[in-house]
């Protein structure tokens, strides 16, 4: 099997003002410097914090990269309130979360929107962290694998990539996000293995073997290792625990 380097991504969501964000990034830079970082690490602050965190990465030579939490697919123009790929690049973002369940649920993002965002990011050479996941009802009905693989197929329509590092998938069961209820490593592996098969159908077997698939949903220092032991789980997308530098650094150490 292709060796895939672990990736730990922090999703700060709508937390941290500009100065709080800079402080958190500095704390994380300090925590991570003390150990050797073997995993890839990315933090995804709110838009207004991106420039400040990018300054910390540059001046502290921090061992992490910068990601955004959303993007709009048009390059520029009359789209009040939106942010383009070029704008993200101009502040140093190299990753961008798309299709998070909170955006699908609260902001009514569709699979078609997510597909357009994925295409725009790939063209701009920003790595999409494409999120998918089922809610409690879908899981209870036993339809979680079909639901998640359909999300992936829809998001990747008309997309082809030549480098598996150009794309990251995050499987986040909605019932486990911010609830303290985690999926078991076996639950995560079942879906992540099915995602990899779907990636093979959409993008080819070789590319699929190299794409990193993250688990997300109440991931924390105490449970991350169980997930990372699974064949098809290559890291974590971390919400709450990414807001405490020492916790997030511990998770990076365990990866
Ligand atoms: P959580 O969030 O770790 O707080 O559950 C994960 C996410 O929504 O990305």
pLDDT digits (tens, 9 = 90+) for 230-242: 999 999 999 999 9
Q: Tokens standing for 18?
A: 């500009």
CB count, 10 Å around CB of 225? Answer: 12
Q: What is the pLDDT of residue 224?
A: 97
Of 6, 100, 134, 144, the catalytic one is 100
pLDDT digits (tens, 9 = 90+) for 30-40: 999 766 789 99
Q: Which atom number of ligand 1 is nearest to the Cα of residue 219?
A: 3
Q: Which atom number of ligand 1 is nearest to the Cα of residue 220?
A: 3
pLDDT digits (tens, 9 = 90+) for 197-211: 999 999 999 999 999
DSSP 17: -
The set of protein residues with a Cβ atom below 6 angstroms from ligand 1 is 11, 172, 177-178, 216-219, 237-241
DSSP element (H, E) containing 192? helix 185-203
Residue 82, burial from CB neighbour count under 10 angstroms (0-12, 13-18, 19+): middle
φ, ψ at 9 (rounded to 5°): -120, 135
Measured over the CA atoms of residue 230, residue 136, residue 106 and residue 243, the dihedral's sign is negative
Q: What is the pLDDT of residue 180?
A: 80
Q: What is the pLDDT of residue 34?
A: 60
Q: What is the pLDDT of residue 35?
A: 61
d(CA 39, CA 30): 16
pLDDT < 70 positions in the chain: 1-2, 34-35
DSSP 221: T
Q: Which residues pair with 98 in a beta bridge?
A: 130
Query: Among this protein's residues, is 172 annotated catalytic?
Result: yes
Three-state secondary structure call for residue 54: helix
Q: Which residues pair with 214 in a beta bridge?
A: 170
């Amino acid at each position: 099997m292709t060796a895939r380097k672990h990736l730990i991504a922090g999703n700060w969501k709508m937390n941290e003002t500009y100065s709080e964000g800079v402080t958190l990034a500095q704390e994380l830079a300090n925590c991570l410097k003390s150990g050797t970082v073997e995993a890839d690490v990315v933090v995804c602050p709110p838009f207004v914090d991106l420039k400040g965190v990018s300054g910390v990465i540059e001046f502290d030579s921090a061992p992490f990269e910068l990601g955004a939490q959303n993007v709009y697919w048009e390059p520029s123009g009359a789209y009040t309130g939106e942010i383009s790929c070029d704008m993200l690049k101009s502040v140093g973002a190299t990753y961008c979360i798309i299709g998070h369940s909170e955006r699908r649920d609260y902001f009514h993002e569709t699979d078609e929107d997510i597909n357009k965002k994925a295409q725009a990011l790939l063209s701009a050479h920003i790595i999409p962290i494409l999120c998918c996941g089922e809610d409690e009802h879908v899981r209870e009905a036993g339809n979680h694998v079909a639901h998640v693989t359909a999300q992936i197929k829809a998001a990747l329509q008309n997309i082809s990539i030549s480098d598996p590092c150009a794309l990251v998938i995050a499987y986040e069961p909605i019932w486990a996000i911010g609830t303290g209820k985690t999926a078991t490593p076996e639950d995560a592996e079942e879906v992540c293995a099915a995602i990899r098969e779907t990636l093979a159908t959409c993008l080819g077997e070789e590319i699929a073997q190299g794409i990193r698939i993250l688990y997300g949903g109440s991931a924390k220092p105490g449970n991350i290792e169980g997930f990372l032991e699974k064949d098809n789980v290559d890291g974590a997308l971390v919400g709450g625990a990414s807001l405490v530098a020492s916790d997030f650094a511990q998770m990076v150490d365990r990866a």
